[in-house]
Structure 1
């Protein structure tokens, strides 16, 4: 009698709110096709460019809709989706809150623990949480704290929304100009202005929180808050700090891809922001050796993925440009 074993599962991937994340979709296509699987892209807009690059495209409700999660669950079941990859901040809390429902269908929502999503979505909570783990963060104050205590503030300040993104509603300030600027910034946090190069770190943790990889880079030019020109930098003076930073993030609940930002100041690296998802500049990290899509699929398949800390190409530059796609037929109306 001949015995046969079931073939290993090929994990189809759904990139949600895929928008213009063309390089990310293409990276997952390479990884999935190598394993006999496919990549799907989902978005609310029929003109999202990634829809025309993926193996199949799906219309999604808005993230805030009560139909969003049920619709995703239907897609997971109908198309054997094994991994959902979110790309925008509003999705993270929703997917984290419903991760168990996706897991019941054999699908991994690529998102950190809900507690970490909440921490990273609030810059005040981010500063408090990482400071409690010994990481240097900017001196920070809430408007209420400043008004209540009448604090003596530094002469150079920076004001931004606690829940902001893409550098919107951000202002330099002094104690004299602060009252006026606070009227322009919703849900503000006040911080010391940091001086020095700003560094972005793309990193990957496995599903238990073990740090697998990182790529530090400098954003040389940004457009709407996204890196369009950048360069990877050495980790000679950052390696120990990065390992401690990722260990702290893991203890706080970080899992999968995360993007971190810090200033390299005279007193050392100072963490300013954490985003528990693929950053817009991830293509540079991928080109430098951070093949996170391949490693994530290997983790899903139960394969060993060893840490590769410090293994990336230094001094690799990225510059981006637009590419057009033309069609006479939209995938759907609206």
Structure 2
């Protein structure tokens, strides 16, 4: 009987076909017979027919999701499970104990502690947690905090308004300080909540607009030693589109290493998290957001020479690949582009000409 190929599962892979390709390349580099399994809720998504295997799972909010996921784990025996969806991650690490149950069955599930997973999903709480560990972050107040909002407005020319529990740049607006209340009212119209009820001003946060240049940072922790910093990768953002980095240039990660080490240790990090930081003219970095997953900015350092999929796979297999995976060339400019692929075919009857 042939042995089961080494299996990596990418949950909610969506449009990130490059991540599937790069794990396949990592299998080849390590000389391993492997396969990439994609889990999706939509069988016609870009990635559903791109993986070596696709499993269509119920939505993570569906009561059938748990049994379907655990059946997949038992059937395919993956070595590594990576989700790239913020809300699925919250469900796996916080709402349920599924991440821990997968780990108990022998699957490596990278991420941060449940406390930090909750914090990453709540921008107000995240600011408090970063301050508590000595990491510079933007002063953050809830939209319903009248006193805090007034103080922030008094000391700022422009403010940033965004959803407190949003993903990416949802609800984002940059406005003059005197228009903060108006922007809060506009943002909360589409703000997600944790209760399922109508949003309130406290479901929106307000921060001063920071000086300096925005960077995307990948903080990578050892997969088998929670909190141990393995590497830091950085790019300067040059253009954004739909809340995601569209063009960037790879840069020296040194200015971001101190903050990265503090975050990795405090969060019990394993694997990769995507962090947005501003770098000011004095070389000081300030954290504004954390996404505990592969983010849309990772390709800009991968194309410059970094290789986190290779590192993750090697760690999962217990192999030492040195530090070459974290080495990349500064000054490489990359830009995203659009492509399209057939994902399904429908049988559709012709319209009734009599109607």
Same fold, TM-score > 0.5, yes or no: yes
The aligned residue for residue 249 of structure 2 is 231
SS at match of 2:34: coil
1:301 maps to 317
Could you say if the C-alpha distance between residues 53 and 9 of structure 1 is closer, same or farther in structure 2, counting changes exceeding 3 Å?
A: closer
Q: Decide whether aligned partners of structure 1 residues 46 and 178 sit closer, same or farther in structure 2, where only a CA change above 3 A counts.
A: same
Q: CA shift at 1:95, angstroms?
A: 1.9
| Aligned residues of 1:213 and 1:311 also touching (Cα < 8 A) | no
**Partners in 2 of 1:300 and 1:149 — Cα distance?**
46
Aligned to 2:74: 77
Q: What pairs up with 1:92-107 in 2 under 5 angstroms? A: 92-96=89-93, 97-107=97-107
Whether 2:201 is the aligned partner of 1:199: answer no
Q: Does 1:11 align with 2:24?
A: no
User: Are residues 326 and 73 of structure 1, via their aligned partners in 2, closer, same or farther at CA, if it must alter by over 3 Å?
Assistant: same
Which residue of the partner structure matches residue 68 of structure 1? 65
Q: Residue 204 of structure 1 contacts residue 214 of structure 1 at CA under 8 Å; is this kept in 2? A: yes
Q: Which runs of 5+ in 1 are unaligned?
A: 1-6
8 Å Cα contact 2:15-2:46 kept in structure 1: yes
Q: Deviation per CA, 1:268-296, whole angstroms, max 9, x where unpaired?
A: 21110111100112122222232111111
Structure 2 portions without partners, runs of 5+? 189-202, 347-355
Which residue does 1:163 correspond to in 2? 165
CA distance in 2, matches of 1:244, 1:195: 18
Name the counterpart of 2:195. none
The alignment status of 1:291 with 2:338, answered yes or no, reads no
| Mapping for residues 122-161 of structure 1, pairs under 5 Å | 122-147=122-147, 151=151, 152-161=154-163
Give me the CA root mean square deviation.
Answer: 2.4
1:251-330 equivalence runs, <5 A: 251-266=266-281, 268-304=284-320, 306=322, 311-326=327-342, 329=345
Q: Distance in 2 between matches of 1:250 and 1:10?
A: 33
Distance 1:149 1:255, change over 3 A: same
State the Cα deviation string for residues 188-220 of structure 1 (Å, max 9, x = none).
111111122110012211132211122211222
Q: Please give the secondary structure, in 2, of the residue aligned with 1:215.
A: strand
Aligned mates of 2:138, 2:42 — CA distance in 1: 38
Length-normalised TM-score, structure 2:
0.83
State whether residues 232 and 260 of structure 2, in contact with CA within 8 Å, keep that contact through their aligned partners in structure 1. Answer: no
Instruction: Show structure 1 runs of 4+ deviating over 6 A.
Output: none
Aligned residue for 1:293, secondary structure, equals helix
The answer to whether the 8 Å contact 2:8/2:79 transfers is yes
CA distance in 2, matches of 1:323, 1:64: 30
Contact 2:171-2:187 within 8 A present in 1 as well? yes
Cα shift at 1:310: 6.8
When residues 250 and 306 of structure 1 are mapped into structure 2, their CA distance, relative to the original with a 3 A threshold, is farther
| Alignment match, 2:350 | none
**C-alpha contact (below 8 Å) 2:58/2:65 kept by paired residues:** yes
Matched residues in 2 for 1:12 and 1:164: separation?
A: 31
What's the counterpart of residue 214 of structure 1? 232
Q: Distance in 1 between matches of 2:179 and 2:213?
A: 25
* Cα contact 1:211–1:307 (8 A) shared by 2: no
Partner of 1:176: 178
Query: Whole-Å Cα distance in 2 between the matches of residues 289 and 9 of structure 1?
Result: 31
Q: In 2, distance between residues paired with 1:82 and 1:252?
A: 23
Matched residues in 1 for 2:219 and 2:259: separation?
13
CA shift at 1:9, angstroms? 8.0
TM value normalised by structure 1: 0.88
Question: Does the 8 Å contact 1:43/1:60 carry over to 2?
Answer: yes
Task: Give distance in 1, aligned partners of 2:306 and 2:286.
Answer: 24
Relative distance call for 1:144 and 1:70 in structure 2 (3 A) is same
